[in-house]
Amino acid sequence: MTRQTPYGPILSDLDLLSDTDGTFAVRWTGHTVTDETTALLKAMRARSVPEFQTAVEGFAFPPLTFLAADDAGNVGAVTAARVPARAPEQGFDIITSPEQSDRDWRRLWDGRDLPHSVNPSQGFIASRRW
């Protein structure tokens, strides 16, 4: 049985990680209640790129980048996700203290805060297959 904490399940209990020092848990937006269905339904009804961007603000998981275009010739690339609002100087440390986690999770960034582009100067957007 996996032990649970306010910071998620304790993964250091797993046999696979038995040689790891210390105890750690994984806090993840995928463990929270989200409503991607409503966000996608709103996105399908959007009549403009700005409406589309607003529609996907409720989308959390999995993180995606959507491309959109409208009848007026507007184009956009919008990140749809929710992630803890970490200060850039923190870098991407995977393991943080409970106190730092609490600070990071006070606010979640969504598509308004994450990278996006509407009508870029080059006049087009593109997506590439990784």
3-class SS string, 58-105: HCCCCCEEEEEECCCCCEEEEEECCEECCCHHHCCCCCCCHHHHHHHC
Q: Is the dihedral of CA 17, 9, 106, 40 positive or negative?
A: positive
pLDDT band for position 129 (cuts 50, 70, 90): low
User: Is residue 62 reached through a cis peptide bond, with omega within 30 degrees of 0 on the bond before it?
Assistant: yes
Give the model confidence (pLDDT) of 66-119 as tens digits: 999 999 999 999 999 998 888 777 776 777 888 888 988 899 988 888 888 899
Higher pLDDT, 59 or 31: 59
Query: What is the phi-psi region of residue 89: left when phi exceeds 0, alpha when psi lies from -120 to 50, beta otherwise?
Result: alpha
pLDDT at 88: 74
Give the model confidence (pLDDT) of 19-58 as tens digits: 777 778 888 888 888 889 999 999 999 999 999 999 998 8
pLDDT at 71: 93
Domain residue ranges of the chain, discontinuous segments joined by +:
1-31, 34-118
Strand partners, 8: 5
Among the listed residues 72, 99, 103, the one whose alpha carbon sits nearest the alpha carbon of residue 86: 103
The residue type of 40 is L
pLDDT band for position 17 (cuts 50, 70, 90): confident
Model confidence at 130: pLDDT above 70: no
